[in-house]
Structure 1
């Protein structure tokens, strides 16, 4: 009788299970977009300071960003979540995940932006200033258009990485795509089918981004 009950409990996937899975997919997309936008914003600011500030300021900023890049992301999630609990700060698991992912993203975007700014030859920048462009006009009309060609491919790689790394938010209980899949596997015992479905979902998110990025990159080179 026990085996019969177990077989019934390990039921096939239903419409409601698919709906639950799609909700997890939407949460994955949502936290990825929020983290990419915030991380890119701060990465641009940090990248600008790294390119233009003195060596002493760079030591502190580089040290902080190196920690974010070096410590495994899953450990950052657990430590930050535990730290919020110790301080008794009422914060949702979504924002715990978004803050950590944003900081992690900004650490990589910083180096990409710094490299983009530094890739613009100083002779070109001096020529723009000699033509009467102000400091910010130099950035707007010279540094930004030229730097984007260097930054864009690397930034897309970071975006794709963040989308995949968002699965690690499941360790703190956020019901994103991987977490919902784990719960459905426990319910239905359809591990292979569900994991293939999750892989397909990540593919249909990432592949169009890669194609569009390649298209834009070709246009930037024209």
Structure 2
């Protein structure tokens, strides 16, 4: 009599490699989204502060929508909307676009807060010394505002790394989706999720630690 066929297998070393590769893809889409989102967020934040009424009624309204609507809904809507406008894109591109816009919406408020953290008297003093508007931004507002908002930006970056797990709904093989596949095959959710959590920690902890040392160097 033949032995029964088992469709499940235990957790193996190759599965850990599979999770590591998925963690690399998580890092890739997070890095792309954080970089692009931060660049646009700086511009949007400056716009919100420089032209309050006009920017608030246009850019501010759009950014509020992206901050308010759950990220998973944005991902599904945009992923299905892109083919309608003739842009046949894959899960990575769609996820990176949505995450970048989402990051920009969060960073914009952070940047605006940093600019407004610099007192009006200090900015007037800079202008009275003959500085132009852009010199005032570069030599006064940026150095002081950066120290004020840097912890908040780090919080946004760490949040985006974790939120990148939602791109799994589009079929992108990142860490969470890889974990789900392995759980289905091995039926060992505790081990798989523990490994996935360790990878997320390995991605986030260096950024948190480096930012902490950077802040300490600014105050020393």
> Structure 2 length normalisation: TM-score?
0.95
Aligned to 2:117: 119
The separation in 1 between residues aligned to 2:97 and 2:132, in whole angstroms, is 36
SS in 1 for 2:131: coil
Paired with 1:140 and 1:75, the residues of 2 have a C-alpha distance of 38
Q: Give the distance between the partners of 2:86 and 2:122, measured in 1 at CA.
A: 53
Residue 62 of structure 2 corresponds to 64
Could you list the runs of 4 or more consecutive aligned residues of structure 1 that deviate by over 4 angstroms after TM superposition? none
Asked if 1:76 is matched to 2:82, the reply is no
In structure 2, the residue matched to 1:209 is 207
Q: Measure the CA separation in 1 of the matches of 2:197 and 2:13.
A: 19
When normalised by structure 1's length, the TM-score is 0.94
In structure 2, the partner of 1:180 is 178
TM-superposed CA distance for 1:2, in Å, is 10
Contact 2:20 2:199 in 1 (8 A): no
Question: Can you list the C-alpha shifts for 1:59-118, whole angstroms capped at 9, x where unaligned?
Answer: 221110110000000000000011113334211110100000000000010000000001
Decide which of 144, 147, 152 is 1:146's aligned counterpart. Answer: 144
The count of corresponding residues between Structure 1 and Structure 2 is: 220
| Contact 2:46-2:112 within 8 A present in 1 as well | yes
1:5 aligns with 5
Report the equivalent of 1:129.
Answer: 127
| Superposition deviation, residue 209 in structure 1 | 1.6
Cα deviations by residue, 1:185-220 (Å, 9 ceiling, x for unpaired) = 111112110001101111121122212211111222
| Aligned mates of 1:41, 1:155 — CA distance in 2 | 12
Describe the shift of the 1:130–1:12 C-alpha distance in structure 2 as closer, same or farther (beyond 3 A).
Answer: same
Counterpart for residue 194 of structure 1: 192
Decide which moves more: 37-46 or 15-24: 15-24
| Offset of residue 3 of structure 1 | 8.8
User: 1:149·1:221 contact (CA, 8 Å) conserved in 2?
Assistant: no
Q: Structure 1: which 5+ runs fail to align?
A: none
Check conservation: 1:44, 1:110, Cα contact below 8 A.
Answer: yes
Distance 1:18 1:72 in 2: 31
CA distance in 2, matches of 1:73, 1:54: 26
Quick check: 2:41–2:111 contact (8 Å CA) kept in 1? yes
Aligned alpha-carbon RMSD (Å): 1.6
Pairing 1:88-103 to 2, within 5 Å after superposition = 88-103=86-101
Supply the distance in 2 between the matched residues of 1:22 and 1:210 (Cα, whole angstroms): 20
Q: Equivalents in 2 of 1:116, 1:146: separation in Å?
A: 8
